[in-house]
C-alpha cells in the first residue's frame, strides 16, 4: 500500500506518522509532502530516512491513499487531481465536508458510507468527531430530538502558531498574535469566523456535520464554541433531548458498549474526563452523566478527547485501516 501524507510537518501530520505505527498499518512506500519551504527536509519513519517532496511531485506517484492535512486551499486545489489519478484522498480540511457526493466519515459511526468507488473521504471537524462517537449508540437506541453544545477547545486546534502564542504569553515574551486576544489565563467565545446570524463557522460545523453523519436533518442543534488555554484536548458539555424515554443506568450501559468510548464517571472520587488525562489517547472519554431534570427525556454529558488524535489524525488513520480491512482499494 502506497501512502502519502500531505502536510506532514504540521501538528496533525506529525501525529499521523506516530499513529501509522500504533495501528501497525502496512506500507510499501511512504511519500511525505509539505510546503515548498520544507521540501528536502529529512524525516525518519520506521528507521528509514524519507525526504519531503512537493505536492506536484507526489501527484505523479502511483499512490493508493493520500491523507491531506494541509488546509482547505490545498485540498481545494489538489484533492480532485489525486482522486483523478486513482488515489483515495482522506481530507482533514473543511473544504469537502458538506459536499453531498463526499462521505463525511467517523468509522465507528458510519464507516459503511465508504465504497470501493469512493475517491474523496472527508474527515469531520474535531469537535464533531468526539461528540458523534459518544452519541452514536444513544441516537440508535433512543433517537435525538435536540442538542445544546458548549465546547471548550484546546489552542492546538488552531495549530502550532497558536500554541506558540500561548507559550510566549506565559513566558512574558512578545509574540505574533494568532488569536485576537491573549489566550493565556483567558478564554473567549470565538472559534472560526463570525457569520451574519451571530454564530461562528465552528459552531455551524457542529450543526451541519452532525446532521450529515447521522443522516438526520431533523436533529435540532445549537452550539457555542469557546477557546481555552490548554493543549491536551477539547471538552464539550452536551445537553441531549432524546425522542424516547430512557433509564440512566441503561444509558451508561449503552455508553460502556460504544466503540471508541471510555466512561469515566465517578464524581465522588473526582474522577471525570479532562484534557490533561485524555492527551495522547485515541479514545473519547465521557463523564458527568446525569439526567436533565428540567425537560422530558433530558440528559447531560461531558465529552473529552485529544483533538489532534481522535479529533483529526486518529480518525484519519482509522479510515485508512477501515479501507484496508474491508478491501476497498
Least confident of 109-113, 128-132, 154-158: 154-158
The C-alpha cell 461531558 sits at 302
Q: Quick one: pLDDT at residue 76? A: 98
Q: What is the percentage of the chain residues whose pLDDT exceeds 70?
A: 100
Fold that domain 2-123+312-325 belongs to in CATH: Rossmann fold (3.40.50)
Q: Which three cell numbers stand for residue 210?
A: 452532525
Cα separation, 85 vs 63, in Å, equals: 8
Q: Quick one: pLDDT at residue 109? A: 98
Q: Is 56 exposed, middle or buried (0-12, 13-18, 19+ CB in 10 A)?
A: exposed
What's the Cα-to-Cα distance from 128 to each of 97, 115, 135, 207, 281, rounded to whole Å? Answer: 12, 22, 10, 9, 17
For 127-307, which CATH superfamily applies? Dihydrodipicolinate Reductase; domain 2 (3.30.360.10)
Cα separation, 301 vs 309, in Å, equals: 21
Asked if residues 310 and 260 have their Cβ atoms less than 8 Å apart, the reply is yes
Cα separation, 26 vs 43, in Å, equals: 18
Summarised one tens digit per residue, pLDDT across range 62-87 is 999 999 999 999 999 999 999 999 99
Q: Quick one: pLDDT at residue 115? A: 98
Q: Quick one: pLDDT at residue 232? A: 92
CATH 3.40.50.720 domain residues, the chain: 2-123+312-325
Summarised one tens digit per residue, pLDDT across range 113-148 is 999 999 999 999 999 999 999 999 999 999 999 999
* Reported confidence tier of residue 210, pLDDT bands at 50, 70, 90: very high
CATH 3.30.360.10 domain residues, the chain: 127-307
Nearest alpha carbon to residue 228 among 191, 202, 198, 199: 191
Q: Quote the mean pLDDT of the chain.
A: 97
Sign of CA dihedral 165, 171, 172, 174: negative
Beta-strand relationship, 2-6 and 298-305: unpaired
Q: Quick one: pLDDT at residue 297? A: 98
Asked if residues 94 and 70 have their Cβ atoms less than 8 Å apart, the reply is no
Q: What is the mean pLDDT of residues 262-284?
A: 97
Cα separation, 318 vs 322, in Å, equals: 6
**302-316 b/e with 16+ CB inside 10 Å = b?**
bbbbbbbbbbbbbbb
Summarised one tens digit per residue, pLDDT across range 158-175 is 988 999 999 999 999 999
Summarised one tens digit per residue, pLDDT across range 1-27 is 999 999 999 999 999 999 999 999 999
Is 187 one of the annotated active-site residues of the chain?
no
Summarised one tens digit per residue, pLDDT across range 311-323 is 999 999 999 999 9
β-partners of residue 278 are none
Is 8 one of the annotated active-site residues of the chain?
no
Q: Quick one: pLDDT at residue 133? A: 98
Give the active site residue among 8, 126, 187, 235: 126
List the end-to-end C-alpha distance of the chain, in Å, as a whole number: 9
Q: What is the mean pLDDT of residues 223-247?
A: 97
Extended beta strands in the chain, E state: 2-6, 29-33, 42-45, 48-51, 65-68, 88-91, 120-122, 144-153, 220-227, 234-242, 261-263, 284-292, 298-305
Q: Quick one: pLDDT at residue 4? A: 98
Beta-strand relationship, 284-292 and 298-305: antiparallel
Q: What is the percentage of the chain residues whose pLDDT exceeds 90?
A: 98
Give the active site residue among 181, 187, 234, 235: 234
Please state, as a whole number, how many other Cβ atoms lie within 10 Å of the Cβ of residue 18.
Answer: 15
* Reported confidence tier of residue 255, pLDDT bands at 50, 70, 90: very high
Radius of gyration of the chain (CA): 20
Amino acid at each position: 500500500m502506497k501512502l502519502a501524507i500531505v502536510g506532514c510537518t504540521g501538528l496533525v501530520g506529525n501525529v499521523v506518522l506516530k499513529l501509522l505505527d500504533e495501528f501497525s498499518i502496512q506500507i510499501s512506500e511512504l511519500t511525505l509532502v509539505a510546503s515548498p519551504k520544507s521540501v528536502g527536509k529529512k524525516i525518519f519513519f520506521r528507521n528509514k530516512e524519507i525526504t519531503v517532496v512537493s505536492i506536484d511531485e507526489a501527484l505523479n506517484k502511483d499512490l493508493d491513499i493520500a491523507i491531506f492535512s494541509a488546509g482547505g486551499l490545498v485540498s481545494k486545489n489538489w484533492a480532485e487531481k489525486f482522486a483523478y489519478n486513482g488515489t483515495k484522498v482522506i481530507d482533514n480540511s473543511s473544504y469537502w465536508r458538506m459536499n453531498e457526493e463526499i462521505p463525511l466519515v467517523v468509522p465507528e459511526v458510519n464507516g459503511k458510507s465508504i465504497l470501493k468507488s469512493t475517491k474523496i473521504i472527508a474527515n469531520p471537524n474535531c469537535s464533531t468527531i468526539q461528540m458523534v462517537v459518544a452519541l452514536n449508540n444513544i441516537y440508535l437506541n433512543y433517537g435525538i430530538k435536540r442538542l445544546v453544545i458548549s465546547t471548550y477547545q484546546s489552542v492546538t486546534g488552531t495549530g502550532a502558531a497558536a500554541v506558540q502564542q500561548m507559550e510566549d504569553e506565559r513566558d512574558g515574551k512578545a509574540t505574533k498574535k494568532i488569536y485576537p486576544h491573549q489566550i493565556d489565563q483567558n478564554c473567549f467565545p470565538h472559534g472560526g469566523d463570525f457569520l451574519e446570524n451571530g454564530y461562528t463557522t465552528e459552531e455551524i460545523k457542529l450543526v451541519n456535520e452532525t446532521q450529515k453523519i447521522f443522516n438526520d436533518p431533523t436533529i435540532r442543534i445549537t452550539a457555542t464554541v469557546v477557546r481555552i488555554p490548554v493543549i491536551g484536548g477539547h471538552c464539550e458539555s452536551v445537553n441531549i433531548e432524546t425522542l424516547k424515554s430512557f433509564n440512566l443506568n441503561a444509558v451508561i450501559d449503552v455508553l460502556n458498549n460504544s466503540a471508541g468510548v471510555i466512561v469515566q464517571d465517578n464524581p465522588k472520587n473526582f474522577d471525570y474526563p479532562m484534557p490533561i488525562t485524555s492527551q495522547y489517547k485515541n479514545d473519547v472519554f465521557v463523564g458527568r452523566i446525569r439526567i436533565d431534570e428540567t425537560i422530558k427525556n433530558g440528559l447531560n454529558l461531558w465529552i473529552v478527547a485529544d483533538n489532534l488524535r481522535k479529533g483529526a489524525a486518529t480518525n484519519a488513520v482509522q479510515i485508512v485501516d477501515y479501507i484496508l480491512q474491508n478491501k476497498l482499494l
